Structure 1
Amino acid sequence: MKKILVPTDFSGFAQSALEVAADIAFKTNAEIMLLHANEKMVTATPLAEYYLYDKAIEDEYLDMVTESLKKTLAEIAENGKFSRVKVKTAVIGGPMVSVIEDFVKDHAIDLVVMGTRGVSGMEEIIVGSNTEKVIRRVKCPVLAVPSPAVSFGKIVFPTTLKESQLPAFKAFAALQKIFSGEVSLLYINDPGNFKNTAAMEAQKDFLVKESGLKNATLFVSDTEVFNEEDAILDFAHQNHADLIVMGTHQRRGLAHFFMGSMTEDTVNHSDIPVLSLSIK
């Protein structure tokens, strides 16, 4: 873990994400990239002949962003534990999701940490509503944070146990030095997939061995599950989970429209942090 990206709109939700990212950076000696997307800078460019550019307004906005970034960095520095965390800041013009996607590629980001439901006083910048779009478009893991997390001692990892999920198992195994808690592998029961519990355990053992995942125990949901998202969240709450880990196919376009994404739906409704891992 070398670089952690934290997009910010200076809301309380974004601040929660930064606190979690700082804790991870402290443990791994990683660098935090604190990014603000200035969406005002490009919205009028294609319509320049119809748009009256006011540099004073732009300068005032950038001054506000600069002061907000300075305040955020000062708050980190005041915390003795985080004072040694390396933090760089960037302000880039463009639509937030596109800015994040490009930044991840250009700077070899290892992890994105985003606040969910992050609405700030700046109405044009809403981090929370963009989290699911970022999950859909970046290749690195994305940690969606609804509130500051104290620890990740209990982890729920919903899985179909299909071999296609092996990339998600490997990706999470590589992160277990950070998220080192007990892992509950939750199988949402599909009678047409496995004939018995022994077959499920055998497939779990295969995925665990091939991925190198540690400290993982298999749990099987009730036979009849009508809403998988509710089943995941109910299980997570009943087991006092600190983190939900989910693989995502990152479907886009018509595939996303018709098939949706359980990972994105869970992120939108969970009050527990969700770590999404690409299995494309």
Structure 2
Amino acid sequence: MFDRILVPTDGSPGSERAFEVAATLASTHDAAVHVLSVVDEHGPTDDDWDYDGGTPAEAFIESQADHVDTEGLSVTPAVREGVVHDAVLDYTDENDIDLIVMGTHGRTGVRRFLLGSVTEKVVRLADVPVLSVKADAEPGTVSFDDILLPTDGSSGAEAAIEPAGALASATDATVNLVSVVDTRSLGIDVGSTVIVDELESVATDAVGDASDRLSGLGVETVETAITHGVPYRAILDAIEDTDADLVVIGTHGRTGVDRYLLGSVAEKLVRTSPVPVMTVRAPDAGGES
């Protein structure tokens, strides 16, 4: 499923952590890695570069050679000029990229994104999965042994099942399925109790269906849980409870693309999760693009 992986870079620590993750995934999935440096159309031009005759992308790859094992991997440098997130998305389309791995800021300033709002925009708009990695993640060996997969049974959530299954089956990872029953607006009365029961039934069906699909994808170990509370906070708690290394979460399709994803759950996780987050957008549902 992951044959071509793209790492957009600006040479920052976030880009370095993203490259480490991409190299690990590429080794596991026998994938090619593309490293893209985008020169902002309002920034420096080719004549302003000084990389000993090379490009920014080539210089970045060379700088990672001492601490990232790329032996046997195909790593291709590329440079584009233009609006950064547009250039990333165009390169993805032109080169049949299957996965984008990008860095974000760490917990300090979680309301800000690498390169302004580039990561946020790519997460919202990319047709392929986007794996966001914190700049303050520990450098070194990357492993995804425990994957957390939130699900609510929606088409957005279902879109994340296959990528999570592909990752888990390749490394014998455990997938922890969690469905959060959002009870924030319910009072404590008989009617609310009935509604909670209905919501729990939906959640049970969602994790059951997702578990069956994961088994069909070759995932041997699947754990399931149903929790209550504010969804993104419950997912953050589940990350800690399951000792997850990665969160894979689905988002809506293009319809309403300027709105936040899954009621802002995916967007908040990209900002605040202590572990990498892979967002997977559902196929277009026929709305405006």
- TM class by smaller structure: 0.7 to 0.9
Give the corresponding residue for 1:129: 117
Partner residue of 1:153 out of 145, 167, 177: 145
Is 1:272 the counterpart of 2:254 in the alignment?
no
2:88 corresponds, among 100, 108, 111, to 100
Residue of structure 1 aligned with 2:222, choices 216, 219, 227: 216
1:235–1:258 distance in 2 versus 1, CA, 3 Å: closer
Q: Which residue of structure 1 lines up, in the alignment, with residue 161 of structure 2?
A: 169
TM-score relative to the length of structure 1:
0.79
TM-aligned CA deviation for residue 179 of structure 1: 5.9
Specify the code of the residue in structure 2 equivalent to 1:277. Answer: V
Is the 8 Å Cα contact of residues 100 and 128 (structure 2) preserved in structure 1?
Answer: yes
Q: CA-to-partner distance for each residue in 1:229-252, whole Å, 9 max, x for gaps? A: 122112212332111110011456
Taking structure 2 as the reference length, the TM-score comes to 0.77
The letter of the residue matching 1:4 is I
Stretch deviating more after TM superposition (227-236 or 198-207): 198-207
SS of equivalent residue, structure 1 residue 232: helix
Deviation of the 1:86 alpha carbon: 1.3
Distance 1:188 1:258, change over 3 A: closer
Matching of residues 33-182 of structure 1 within 5 Å? 33-39=34-40, 42-43=41-42, 58-64=45-51, 66=54, 68-78=56-66, 81-117=69-105, 126-127=114-115, 129-146=117-134, 147=137, 148=139, 150-162=142-154, 165-178=157-170, 180-182=172-174
Distance verdict in 2 for CA 1:163–1:7, change over 3 Å = closer
Secondary structure (helix, strand or coil) at the match of 2:175 reads strand
- The reply to whether residue 246 of structure 1 matches residue 249 of structure 2 is yes
Q: Is the 8 A contact 1:248 1:261 kept in 2?
A: no
What is the CA distance between 1:106 and its match in structure 2? Answer: 0.7
1:164 Cα shift? 5.8
Shift, 1:157, TM fit: 1.1
Give the direction of change, closer, same or farther, for the CA distance of 1:188–1:17 in structure 2 (3 Å limit): same
Aligned partner of 2:17 in structure 1 is 16
Deviation, 1:71, is 3.7
1:70, CA displacement in angstroms? Answer: 3.7
Q: Per-residue deviation at 1:208?
A: 2.9
Q: More helix by proportion, 1 or 2? A: 1
**Unmatched segments (≥5 aa) in structure 2:** 107-112, 184-194, 284-289
Residue among 224, 236, 240 paired with 2:239? 236
Show structure 1 runs of 5+ residues with no match: 45-56, 119-124
| Identity, % of aligned positions | 30
In 2 relative to 1, CA 257–176 (structure 1 residues): closer, same or farther, beyond 3 Å?
Answer: closer
Deviations 1:78-128 (A, max 9, x none): 45842222111111011111001111111000110001118xxxxxx9447
Q: Report the counterpart of residue 192 of structure 2 in structure 1.
A: none
Cα displacement string for residues 4-54 of structure 1 (whole angstroms, at most 9, x for unaligned residues)? 000000001110100110111122221111001111xx339xxxxxxxxxx
Aligned residue pairs, count: 257
Residue equivalent to 1:204? 207
CA distance in structure 2 between the aligned counterparts of 1:179 and 1:279, rounded to whole angstroms: 25
CA RMSD of aligned residues (A): 3.1
SS in 2 for 1:145: strand
In structure 1, how many angstroms separate the alpha carbons of the residues matched to 2:211 and 2:98? 23
- 1 CA distance for matches of 2:209 and 2:262? 28
